[in-house]
Amino acid sequence: MRITLALGSAVVVLSLLVAAGPAPDAGSKGGAMKGAAYLHAEGSFEPKIAPLSDDASSGLGRMSLRKTWRGQFEGTSQGEMLTAMGKGKGSGAYVAVERVTGKTLGRQGSFSLVHRGVMTNGEQELVITVVPGSGTEGFEGFHGQVTIRIDPDGKHFYVLEGTLPGS
């Protein structure tokens, strides 16, 4: 039962579309960003979230996370999520890290994401940021964020934004 509540809460937290702020203008960073490209990719993703452990007495849970990304960014990701449930309905939090591998704009490689989601009495906040310095190959030096939306029918959508260094 507690696993179901933790998983349900994590999915509810994920359902908020949060703008983590606009990506920096590639042209405003001076010489260090000369030739940088702005990345804006949209599409859908299919998540697979599976409980790894659950401690009903403490309200803590741990889950594996796998996604297939489709659209302007194509790829896969895997990671882990930790959840904490608050007392009463509609309060809890989660943190997660995931490694994303894929391609967009003629570039391919990987980068990591860090998630922070908090729900207080049904009010949700979600921030998903590219881990600084985590990019490889075509994503080396990538700075950005992801926003997500979950439709009532359960379909998941993403917007991946940020800056990529010049080639």
Tokens linked to 58: 């403490």
Number of domains in the chain: 1
CATH of the domain at 66: 2.40.350.10
C-alpha–C-alpha distance, residues 33 and 151, integer Å: 36
Q: Which amino acid does the sequence have at 152?
A: P
One digit per residue, the tens of pLDDT, for the chain of length 167 reads 333 334 343 443 333 223 233 333 333 333 345 678 899 999 999 999 999 987 777 889 999 999 999 999 999 999 999 999 888 788 999 999 999 999 998 999 999 999 999 999 988 899 999 999 999 999 999 999 999 999 999 999 999 999 998 75
- Print the domain residue range for 136: 2-164
pTM (global) more than 0.75: yes
